[in-house]
Amino acid sequence: MNTGKIIFSQVMDYLPMHTFRRCVDRYGGDYKVQSFSCLDQYLCLAFAQMTYRESLRDIEACLRAQQTKLYHMGIRGSISRSTLADANERRDWQIYADFSQRLIHTARQLYAGDDFGVELDNTVYALDSSTIDLCLSMFPWARFRTTKGAVKLHTLLDLRGPIPALILISPGNVHDVNILDEIIPEPGSFYIMDRGYLDFERLYRIHQGLAFFVIRSKSNFQFRRLYSHPIDKAHGVQCDQTIVLTGFYSQQGYPDKLRRIKYFDEETQKNLTFLTNNFNLPPLTIAQLYRCRWQVELFFKWIKQHLRIKCFFGTSENAVKTQIWIAVSVYVLIAILKKRLKIALSLYTILQILSVTIFERMPILQVLAEDRYQTDMSENRNQLKLFES
């Protein structure tokens, strides 16, 4: 007897299916496909992400064990390792990249009003990359070093959420600074970066795009101080200066003035020097903005620990990128579900609960209700006394 939708189906109800079909049609994903569509492939890999499956054999065994529930999950094709492997090899990964970007757009609208720790109306992005190690003999296309393979996950993270605004996947030997060429500056926004992105010509493009940047400086760059601004050293700010670059190539790349702020971090006992093109914000706010960049590190840590992007279900470039993009879409989908259902639990807790209740037939709000996980310490015991005192 049908007693309602299973949890997996309730989660997938938040997918914009019209958008998914448009992405599939754009790249001809279901062209001449008879039995195992792109939606079937997506649902199988989403199931693998949500339940922490480690291989195609693992996916096949678990789904076949629940054969009677596949229809209710939305899966219409038959499940086999060879079918999944062929789909990962041949279906264009850009289908899932475009679909993930649409989910990201939806999630950013939902989290637009969230606070990220600094009182600022501007949009703030943190840019960083994370390296995913691969075996060079199995992934020869992902050359990183002479005996090592890897791909890099470059992420522009909107700190309100945090939701990735832009994700790019590149071979491991692509330097981080090259990703600045792929970013279109959003006027009025802040871009927070580590010193690995220090390239004055590219930073000047951000400045010309009417956007702001905050970046750590290197110790050997040449500059000349024009004048110093008054500061309050009680909060860690050591200096606030207006400078111009004096190096030949750096001056050609960035001919305008820059602001140099030196800050002492009491937690790490380190002196940090920042460069920015914003002359209006207090120096302490600039230091706080850079501190918020740590959220992108937490995002990478969360992705690597809780989504399946270490054990890959295929060895081709297409299969790896397909799995990464579906993993990202699952992360964003859970973030959308959390916001729309107003769930107070963390994304980690939500995924853990879903992983063990995925086939249950009960309302998802009941499963994710926070009060279900509080221990009842009441003194009313429904236990008979064996002996009278």
Tokens 């054969």 map to which residue? Answer: 67
Residue 303 has a CB neighbour count (10 Å cut-off) of: 19
| Rounded Cα–Cα distance for residues 198 and 218 (Å) | 8
Mean of the per-residue pLDDT values for the chain? 87
User: Which range is least confidently modeled, 259-263, 299-303, 347-351, 383-387?
Assistant: 383-387
pLDDT at 28: 92
pLDDT tier at 346, thresholds 50, 70, 90: confident
pLDDT at 388: 54
Residue 37 has a CB neighbour count (10 Å cut-off) of: 19
pLDDT digits (tens, 9 = 90+) for 29-85: 998 888 899 999 999 999 999 998 888 999 999 999 998 898 888 898 888 999 999
* pLDDT (mean) for 95-101: 94
Number of helices (H), then strands (E), belonging to the chain: the values are 14, 10
Share of the chain above pLDDT 70, in %: 93
Residue 222 has a CB neighbour count (10 Å cut-off) of: 10
Give the DSSP letter of residue 191.
Answer: E
* pLDDT (mean) for 238-251: 92
pLDDT tier at 21, thresholds 50, 70, 90: very high
pLDDT at 3: 61
pLDDT at 63: 92
* pLDDT (mean) for 94-103: 94
pLDDT digits (tens, 9 = 90+) for 291-332: 888 888 777 777 776 666 767 888 899 999 999 999 999 989
Does the pLDDT at position 336 exceed 90?
A: yes
Give the DSSP letter of residue 280.
Answer: S
Q: What are phi and psi of 171, to 5 degrees?
A: -60, 155
Q: CA–CA distance from 196 to each of 124, 175, 180, 215 (Å)?
A: 19, 9, 11, 9
CA torsion, points 328, 330, 331, 333, in degrees to nearest 10? 120
Domains parsed from the chain with CATH numbers = 7-94+313-369 (no CATH), 123-299 (3.90.350.10)
User: Which range is least confidently modeled, 10-19, 100-109, 227-236?
Assistant: 227-236
pLDDT at 382: 54
pLDDT at 142: 86
Give the distance from CA 385 to its chain's centroid: 56
Burial (CB count <10 Å: 0-12, 13-18, 19+), residue 273: middle
| Rounded Cα–Cα distance for residues 273 and 289 (Å) | 13
pTM over 0.85: no
* Residue among 36, 158, 165, 159 nearest 89 (CA): 36
| Rounded Cα–Cα distance for residues 372 and 5 (Å) | 20
Q: CA–CA distance from 295 to each of 138, 191, 237, 261 (Å)?
A: 32, 13, 22, 22
Does the pLDDT at position 378 exceed 80?
A: no
- Long-range own/partner contacts, residues 142-148 (CB < 8 A, 24 or more apart): 142/171, 142/172, 142/317, 142/320, 143/171, 143/172, 143/173, 144/171, 144/172, 144/173, 145/172, 145/173, 148/172
| CB 120, CB 136: distance < 8 Å | no
pLDDT at 131: 87
Does the pLDDT at position 137 exceed 70?
A: yes
pLDDT digits (tens, 9 = 90+) for 146-180: 888 888 888 898 888 778 888 888 888 888 999 99
Q: Left (φ > 0), alpha (ψ -120 to 50) or beta: where does 205 sit?
A: alpha
| Rounded Cα–Cα distance for residues 238 and 62 (Å) | 59
* pLDDT (mean) for 18-23: 95
Q: For the chain, how far is it from start to end, CA to CA, in angstroms? A: 51
Does the pLDDT at position 389 exceed 70?
A: no
pLDDT tier at 385, thresholds 50, 70, 90: low
pLDDT at 231: 86
> What's the token pair of residue 135?
């075996």
pLDDT tier at 129, thresholds 50, 70, 90: confident
pLDDT at 334: 92
pLDDT digits (tens, 9 = 90+) for 174-232: 889 999 999 999 999 999 999 889 999 999 999 999 999 999 998 888 999 999 998 88
3-state secondary structure of 255: coil
